[in-house]
Amino acid sequence: MDQEIKPIKYRNAIQCTVCDEIIESKHRHDFKWCGCGSCAVDGGTDYLRRLGNPGDWIELSNFDENEKK
């Protein structure tokens, strides 16, 4: 399931609650799945994109929703 895309400023990362792996997207289109395939992260510092069941990850990103590009 795709989640809302938001602009970010600092870090784009999540922790999978199934396999406990932390995955981070460091640049635009840097799409990464966790080791067990339950969730994925994408977008680097350009946008936030999440795939998987929202209950399967913990959000670790630092972002400013008020920032305008």
pLDDT digits (tens, 9 = 90+) for 1-18: 666 665 546 889 999 999
Residue 1 lies in a domain: no
pLDDT at 64 over 80: no
Residue 33 lies in a domain: yes
- For 20, the domain range is 13-59
Residue 18 lies in a domain: yes
Residue 7 lies in a domain: no
3-state SS, 15-67, equals EECCCCCEEECCCCCCCEECCCCCEEEECCCCCCEEEECHHHEEECCECCCCC
Report how many domains make up the chain.
Answer: 1
Residue 4 lies in a domain: no
Residue 6 lies in a domain: no
pLDDT digits (tens, 9 = 90+) for 36-56: 999 999 999 888 899 999 999
pLDDT at 60 over 50: yes
